[in-house]
Amino acid sequence: MLCEKVVPLLSEYFDEALDPGTAIQVSQHLDQCPGCRKELSGIVRVHSKLRSMSSVQAPDYLRDLVQLRIVDMRKNRWRAQLQDALELRWSRIRTTEGIWYATKAMGTVLTAVLFFLIPCSINPINIEANSSIPERSTFSRVEKQQVALNVVAKLGMLSKEDKKGLAKPNQPAVKPAIHEQYVSNFGESISEDAKDYDFGVVTYVDRSGKGQALNVIEHPNAQTFLNSFNKVISAGRFAPGRRNGEAVPSTVILMFSKISVNSVKD
């Protein structure tokens, strides 16, 4: 047996932990090799030094301390057990490098996510960029005219010439949302002299669809405007409000804002 193989086995040889065959081989080698004997004597020396440390006696009052803590634990058994378990778990976490750093990393990530989510919840990042309803500015001049004509036609206020224009086949049929119709024509046609073109009209509509303007909201010359508005709507008919399929009297608030109306007359 070579020294390189014997030296690593000396610790076990000293402790008589080798299998008998190997132990005999090591023993035979030691008989012939002073270097390995020296190595072994070093182990013996270490062992004897450590044995000389001997045992340190526990102090007598350890028993009293344990007794006191057991009394305390019994008083608060459940709380103590929970605390003990938590302390043990926590001590494992804080003393196991991997878990400790993983916990720190997870905390950092969660904090980062939290700081990202808070502003997002205040200012949502998902804005509907592609609305199916076209913006007002996307109406071309011709389309605006068409919208205006449609509105006026629905109110029965079209002249014969206008009706011809409406029927032109080469003009695209535009069916904007109802609010666009109001915006694009009706208000302007009767408020063109007013400085403030943004206004609303509270209108009473009876079962037959006949309307009567009751009040004007936010208009500088409300009473004059009310009268002229009533003249206009007297020629048209509203769709009456319905409840369970039956026409009922209702109140309609018509909101208008400025848009060029001259284009209708071009």
Partner 1 sequence: MPQGAILEGIDDRIGLTFEELFGRFNSMIFNLAYQILGDREEALDVAQEVFLAIYSKMGTFRGESSLKTWIYRIAVRRAANRFRWWNRLRRRGTVSLEEHLSKNPEREPTCSFTSKTQSPEEALLQQEEREEVKRMLNELPLQQRIAVIMRDIEGLSYEEIAESLNVSLGTIKSRIARGREVLKHHLNGH
Residue numbers of the site for partner 1 (CB under 8 A)?
Answer: 8, 10-12, 15, 17, 39, 42-43, 45-47, 49-59, 62-63, 65-67, 69-71, 73-74, 80-81, 84, 91-92, 94-95
- Return the ∠ at Cα 207 (arms to 205 and 213), rounded to 5°: 15
C-beta of 72 vs 193, nearer to partner 1: 72
State the nearest-atom distance from the C-beta of 87 to partner 1, in Å.
9
80-88, long-range: CB < 8 A, 24+ apart = none
C-beta of 89 vs 207, nearer to partner 1: 89
Task: Using alpha carbons, select from 6, 70, 72, 74 the residue that is nearest to residue 40.
Answer: 6
Give the whole-angstrom CA distance, residue 18 versus residue 204.
109
- Return the ∠ at Cα 8 (arms to 5 and 10), rounded to 5°: 105
Contact 178, 155 (CB under 8 A): no
- CA 162, 163, 166, 170: dihedral to nearest 10 degrees? -100
State the nearest-atom distance from the C-beta of 78 to partner 1, in Å.
11
State the nearest-atom distance from the C-beta of 72 to partner 1, in Å.
9
C-beta of 47 vs 141, nearer to partner 1: 47
Contact 43, 11 (CB under 8 A): yes
State the nearest-atom distance from the C-beta of 18 to partner 1, in Å.
10
C-beta of 39 vs 198, nearer to partner 1: 39
State the nearest-atom distance from the C-beta of 7 to partner 1, in Å.
9
Cα dist from 110 to 89, 102, 106, whole Å: 22, 12, 6
C-beta of 52 vs 126, nearer to partner 1: 52
State the nearest-atom distance from the C-beta of 106 to partner 1, in Å.
19
C-beta of 73 vs 247, nearer to partner 1: 73
C-beta of 71 vs 129, nearer to partner 1: 71
3-state secondary structure of 226: helix
Chain centroid to CA 113: 10
State the nearest-atom distance from the C-beta of 11 to partner 1, in Å.
4
Contact 170, 201 (CB under 8 A): no
